[in-house]
Amino acid sequence: MPLRIGDAACKRGPIRLGERTAWEPGGPRLGCSRMRGQFITFEGGEGAGKSTQVARLAARLRGAGHDVVVTREPGGSVGADQIRALLVEGEPGRWDAIAELLLVFAARRDHLRRTVWPALDRGAIVLCDRFTDSTMAYQGYGRGLGREPVDRVRHVAIGDFHPDTTLLLDIAVEVGLARAGARGGKESRFEHFDADFHGRVREGFLDIAAREPNRCVVLDATQGMDSLEAAIWARVAPRLASP
C-alpha cells in the first residue's frame, strides 16, 4: 500500500515533512487564503523599465516602514542564479523551448523555497522582477509551446501559488529593445530572438492580464519614469496593511 503523508511509517521514511514550507503543494497552510506577506511581481518585455520601477517601489515602501525583499527571476537564490546564467547568456538556440521551460521552473522552485516563501512567512512585502507570467509569455506564447504545457509544469513545480498583484509594464517591442540594447551587458540571450518572437511575447502578456484582471494591472511603460512610479504607487498603496 502506498504511504500517505501523516502515516507513522511515512514520517520515518524519506519524505521529510519538516522541509515543507507553508506555501508549497501539501504544505501546512495550503488552502488558507490569508497570506502573511504580500507578493508583488513586475512583468513586461526587455527594456520596459521593470528593474527601474522595482527599485523605486522598494524605496517608497521602505520609506513607509515596510519590511521589503527585492528579488528577481530567473535567480533570487544561489542555485537559481546558477540556472539564470544558463538561460540568459549564450546563443539563442542553446536550449529548445521545453528544456528552457524546465530550467525556468527548476530555478523558480529553488527561489521560492529559499527566498520568497520564508520572506512571506515572516510578513515581508516581496517585490519580484519577473515571475511565472514571463514563462507563459516567453515559452508559452513567444516560443510557441502554448499555455497547457506551461500550466502543467507550473502545477508540478509550485502548485497554485501566485502573486497578489502583478504590474505589467507594456511597451512597443522596438522601444523596449532599444532601451535594453543601450543598457548593454552579457545577459542578452533573449534580446537576440527575432521581432516576431518579441511581438508574441507582448501579446501574450496582454492576454494573460486580460484573463486575470483582478491580479494584473497593465501600465503604459512609455511614460516617464516618475509618472510610471506614481501610477504604480497609486495601485499598490491602497492594498497595503499598515507596517
Ligand X SMILES: Nc1ncnc2c1ncn2[C@@H]1O[C@H](COP(=O)(O)OP(=O)(O)O)[C@@H](O)[C@H]1O
User: Residue numbers of the site for Mg ion (CB under 5 A)?
Assistant: 50-51
State the DSSP string of 49-98.
Answer: SHHHHHHHHHHHHHHTT--EEEEESS-SSHHHHHHHHHHHSS-GGGS-HH
169 with 42: CB under 8 angstroms?
A: yes
Give me the residues paired with residue 126 across strands: 39, 69
161-176: b (≥16 Cβ within 10 Å) or e? bebbbbbbbbbebeeb
Q: What cell does 162 get?
A: 501566485
How far is the C-alpha of 101 from the C-alpha of 94, rounded, in Å? 13
Q: Which of 37, 49, 74, 140 binds ligand X (CB under 6 A)?
A: 49
49 binds, among Mg ion, ligand X, none (CB under 5 to 8 A by kind): ligand X
29 scored as a contact of ligand X (CB under 6 A)? no
- Residue with Cβ nearer ligand X (48 or 87): 48
184 scored as a contact of ligand X (CB under 6 A)? no
Size of the site for ligand X (CB under 6 A): 15
Interaction mask 50-89, ligand X, x per CB under 6 A? xxx-------------------------------------
Q: What cell does 68 get?
A: 521589503
Could you tell me which stretch among 45-53, 95-103, 188-196, 231-239 binds ligand X (CB under 6 A)?
A: 45-53
Instruction: Give min distance, CB of 172 to ligand X, in A.
Output: 12
Judged by the rule CB under 6 A, the positions of this chain that interact with ligand X are: 44, 46-52, 179-180, 182-183, 224-225, 228
